Structure 1
């Protein structure tokens, strides 16, 4: 937490100096500068914890070995697409969503150790703190998904430049949505231990009831209704349609609209709860 506390004076100084004052640069530039400072602080903290990145890499390798490789010979294909190619977009989505939601725990730890109180002293909007964390968390997981996408041809995905760029955009949107959701949970649940338990309790149903590792068209009707309530379903469906260029559970515009609506609701809640 030493890094966190050393960044606070810089945030306060940049917001209160002549070049950063609202009168000189305007409130928007002040807010953007504050968001950048918080994002830079969180990225430095992540860089100093290489073990976390290694554990995330092992997790995604486990899913690839079990589902994309282990089940490929047993299942064969789904709708004419090799199972390894069909499941790979969902495996990347699992990584994106799990890291995105878990990123809210850094906010909870900042509050637990009093860093949040110090950061809120700076003359910037309170929402800048969680938004800075969203930028850092979503940026990191988008970079990870970009690396994983480069290996998708090994899974049987016919990857083109257009599909690659569109898929990066899909995962960036998903990373943003679920990072905001993670921050909302952190503002609603004040105890760190309770937050960790809640995230762990919610993750497995959300991950595995999204169609990430199976075809959502083959499930019973009652389970299909549950999947439609799951926000991750729309991220998986959008990414799968983008990479495989096939029919999905919903039209692409419906997936995009659902993710945009979820993001709007989560951002509104985050704005109301920021600083708590």
Structure 2
């Protein structure tokens, strides 16, 4: 008597692959979160960095500049200061991925029977989650900077920073898949970070810049993150409509994910 076994339906097989992929993403994210929790010095250095920007720009320049329109300068730059922290940590996640791929546990995980895209996506989940929590903590201090914070604005701004953290984490990982040498990647990120951070309108009003600089700012992806967060927290006064900022960030995310999928599959 011959016993035949029915093949699993395609939908069930697809669900199984999805569960495996999600589990792999969760494992990578959990490992990264544990590693970050065991390195309090890194969190402390990030806190000192954001405190430096607050003291220099939001406090130090407030008396000199006064206000931007009807908004106190400290309130105007505070959303951009948070964005600086979000983008810096997001892009830097690519460096940790490159380091793990070269010397750490990712060398073993690259041969695991899971889609390659799961490995960088796990980094994105961990990095974006951590930065979102940090931005939420910083948002709680908005009233000290002269920002009128409501529960709705707090939630909407946290969502903006979560989107920005995701976008720039994916961008950082794209760089890590294109530039495979760790030292070259570090130099490239350092070269690109300062123009991106300071040519985004994070610490000045984009409406006052010359036309040639405005064009450069419009090709800077961070400009849209800063503009969206500033409009959300201050209730208006942005460079572009909010839907344009959201559309630009969504388009950048789609392109970056497509590139990440292409490069990580190799």
Instruction: State whether TM-score is above 0.5.
Output: yes
Q: Structure 1 105/275 Cα, relative in aligned 2: closer, same or farther at 3 Å?
A: farther
Q: Structure 1 231/82 Cα, relative in aligned 2: closer, same or farther at 3 Å?
A: same
Equivalent residue runs for 1:209-220 within 5 Å:
209-220=199-210
Alignment of 1:168 onto 2:158: yes
SS of the residue aligned with 1:190?
coil
Alignment of 1:103 onto 2:96: no
Alignment of 1:46 onto 2:40: no
Quote the offset at 1:121 in angstroms: 1.8
Instruction: State the TM-score, normalizing by the size of structure 2.
Output: 0.94
Alignment of 1:131 onto 2:134: no
Q: Which deviates more, 29-38 or 232-241? A: 29-38
Among 62, 76, 86, which residue is 1:72 paired with? 62
Alignment of 1:205 onto 2:195: yes
Distance in 1, matches of 2:228 and 2:126, equals 23
* Higher Rg of the two aligned structures: 2
Distance in 2, matches of 1:25 and 1:187, equals 28
Contact 1:43 1:136 in 2 (8 A): yes
Alignment of 1:62 onto 2:52: yes
Unaligned runs of 5+ in 2: 1-11
What is residue 9 of structure 1 aligned with on the other side?
Answer: none
Quote the offset at 1:275 in angstroms: 5.4
What is residue 9 of structure 2 aligned with on the other side?
Answer: none
Quote the offset at 1:86 in angstroms: 0.2
Alignment of 1:243 onto 2:228: no
Contact 1:100 1:175 in 2 (8 A): yes
What is residue 12 of structure 1 aligned with on the other side?
Answer: none
Quote the offset at 1:79 in angstroms: 1.2
Q: Which deviates more, 22-31 or 75-84? A: 22-31
Instruction: State the TM-score, normalizing by the size of structure 1.
Output: 0.90
Among 80, 84, 97, which residue is 1:94 paired with? 84
Q: Deviations over 1:24-82 (max 9, x none)?
A: 95211111111000000111111111111000000000000000000000100001000
List structure 1 segments (4+ residues) > 4 angstroms apart after TM superposition.
Answer: 22-25
What is residue 122 of structure 1 aligned with on the other side?
Answer: 112
- Please give the root-mean-square deviation of Cα atoms over the aligned residues, in Å: 1.2
SS of the residue aligned with 2:180?
coil
